[in-house]
Amino acid sequence: MAVLELNDLAKRYNRKVWGVRKMDLEVEDREFIVFLGPSGCGKTTCMRMIAGLEETTRGSINLEGRDITDLPPRDRNISMVFQNYAIWPHMTVFDNIAFSLKLKKMPKEDIRKTVEEVAGMVKIEQLLTRFPGQMSGGQQQRVALARALAVKPKLFLMDEPLSNLDAKLRVVMRTELKAIHQKTGATSIFVTHDQSEAMSMADRIVIMKDGEIIQVGTPEDVYFRSADMFVAGFIGTPPTNFFPVSIRKENDRGYLEHSDFNCPLGSEELGLVSKGGREELVLGIRPEDFKLAAPRKGILNAEVLVVEPQGSHQILAVELAGNIVKIIVSPDQKLAPGDPVSFDFDYKHLHFFDKDSEKRIS
Ligand SMILES: Nc1ncnc2c1ncn2[C@@H]1O[C@H](COP(=O)(O)OP(=O)(O)OP(=O)(O)O)[C@@H](O)[C@H]1O
Ligand SMILES: [Mg+2]
């Protein structure tokens, strides 16, 4: 059963700027949802509407079958951790975590137990008597998480809670947050603009752009079946390479023609891409779907521009028709700038997009 439902949700600030244009979404019980999208696409606005911190302009929000659209924040059974985790500097860690439990008039002994339990979850049980000013950024972040977890919310909202941490700690906290979610099972929405964070944490990713949802799906869905060029170009490091191509038919065979290479198509694929008389499209190829090959006519023959070693693999940049193409190769290929290279493709993993609508052809 859906725990949270957003129906035609929209927010316009000052009757001018659309923060969220339209969002329809159903979140299942115990799900870990990630909102992913570039800066300004409406992630925070949507979270604030769900939490009740921002009035909606249109649409409704249902939590466990109850319409909460106009309910004050404290009556929603939702906890939120903010982008700039505001914890109170004049309170000890214990008091920070205990604060909302005291407001709820929870018995003292239960408060102590709950604080110790959630502090244990985020590994700050040794810091309960400290003040925020005496702790690192990462530790303060954990306090904010513990404080939000302590109220055992029905819905747990986290708006870029790892944004103030250094790269290494972010990756550690990512794993810990996922482990906490598995332990508590609290239905969660997590916001990030880091696609690898989204891929590694989410049950389902909600990809947003300009205040709207572009695609909702598992990490595999959005990676292997990107709904459009925006998603294909946003997900993956490096992202999908795009090539404008024209469709050429010869007898019953088909090819995608680019100024620098030809790509043969199976009859089923040819039928798919040329439907409706389409003559041109955009071919998408992920960096790992190229295969080093002996030079031959028709495949991608180019010159290495830059080599970026990554340890487990290396990224080659080559230039093709004025565009940079990024290709992942194994680390034992010894290549240097200026070397000639040739690539064939993994034909099973080609992505086709309409050149006007930029949507996936499928
Ligand atoms: N209080 C406000 N008044 C007017 N416009 C606002 C307000 N808050 C946000 N906006 C606008 O609404 C749009 C969405 O903003 P929002 O903060 O939701 O984006 P975001 O996806 O969270 O971005 P980021 O990744 O940078 O945090 C932006 O164009 C922003 O400028
Ligand atoms: Mg934001």
How open is the CA angle 41-45-48, to the nearest 5 degrees? Answer: 150
* Strand-pair partners of 216: 206
Ligand 2 center to residue 133 CA distance, Å? 25
Domains and their CATH numbers in the chain: 2-234 (3.40.50.300), 241-353 (2.40.50.140)
Number of helical (H) and strand (E) elements in the chain, helices listed first:
9, 20
pLDDT in tens, the chain (362 residues): 679 999 999 999 999 999 999 999 999 999 999 999 999 999 999 999 999 999 999 999 999 999 999 999 989 989 988 866 678 999 999 999 999 899 889 999 999 999 999 998 888 999 999 999 998 888 888 899 899 889 888 899 999 988 877 888 888 888 888 988 998 888 999 999 899 999 999 999 999 999 999 999 999 999 999 999 999 999 999 999 999 999 998 877 899 999 999 888 988 899 999 999 999 999 999 999 999 999 988 899 999 999 999 999 999 999 988 889 999 999 998 999 999 999 998 888 899 999 999 999 98
- Pick the ligand that lies closest to the CA of residue 211: 1
Q: Whose CA is nearest to atom 25 of ligand 1?
A: 39
Name the pTM for this structure. 0.92
Q: What single-letter DSSP state applies at residue 107?
A: -
CA dist 172 and 122 (Å) reads 11
DSSP 297: T
Ligand 1 binding pocket mutation candidate from 36, 41, 47, 85 (most atoms within 8 A of CB): 41
Closest ligand 1 atom, CA of 47?
18
**Residue-level pLDDT at 214:** 97
Ligand with the closest atom to the CA of 35: 1
Q: Are 198 and 219 in contact (CB under 8 A)?
A: yes
Residue showing tokens 């089923």? 268
Determine the Cα–Cα distance for residues 123 and 44; give it in Å rounded to an integer.
Answer: 27
Smallest CA separation from ligand 1 atom 19, residue: 40
CB atoms within 10 A of CB 21: 18
Looking at residue 44, its pLDDT comes to 94
Task: Count other C-beta atoms under 10 Å from residue 258's C-beta.
Answer: 16
Question: Which atom number of ligand 1 is nearest to the Cα of residue 11?
Answer: 12
Q: What's the confidence (pLDDT) of residue 223?
A: 96
The Å distance, Cα 198 to ligand 1 centre, comes to 20
Residue 294 neighbours by CB distance under 10 Å: 7
- Quote the ligand 1 centre to 42 CA distance (angstroms): 6
Q: In what order do the strands lie in the sheet with 314-320?
A: 290-292, 340-345, 300-309, 314-320, 323-329
**Predicted pLDDT of residue 63:** 96
Burial tier of 79 (Cβ tally within 10 Å: 0-12, 13-18, 19+): buried
Report how far residue 34's alpha carbon sits from residue 145's, in angstroms, rounded to the nearest whole number. 17
Name all residues whose Cβ lies below 6 A of ligand 1: 13-14, 17, 19, 37, 39-45, 193
Q: Which atom of ligand 1 is nearest to the CA of 43?
A: 21
Q: How far away, in angstroms, is 136 Cα from ligand 1 center?
A: 28
Tell the residue nearest (CA) to atom 4 of ligand 1: 13
Question: Tokens representing 12?
Answer: 């316009």
Ligand lying nearest the CA atom of residue 48: 1
Q: How far is the CA of 195 from the centre of ligand 1 (A)?
A: 19
Compute the distance between CA of residue 342 and CA of residue 340 in angstroms, rounded to an integer. 7
CA separation (Å) from 252 to 141, 186, 264, 271?
61, 55, 12, 10
Q: Which ligand lies nearest the alpha carbon of 45?
A: 1
Protein residue closest via CA to atom 13 of ligand 1: 19
Closest C-alpha residue for ligand 1 atom 29? 40
- Give the per-residue pLDDT at 128: 95
At 1 the pLDDT is: 65
Query: What pLDDT is attached to residue 341?
Result: 94
Centroid of ligand 2 to alpha carbon of 49 (angstroms): 13
Beta strands in 193-339 (DSSP E): 204-209, 212-217, 241-250, 253-257, 262-265, 280-285, 290-292, 300-309, 314-320, 323-329
Q: Say how far apart CA 139 and CA 158 lie, in whole Å.
A: 16
3-state DSSP helix/strand/coil percent for the chain, to nearest 5?
30, 35, 35
In the reported structure, the alpha carbon of residue 45 is separated from the centroid of ligand 1 by a whole-number distance in angstroms of 6
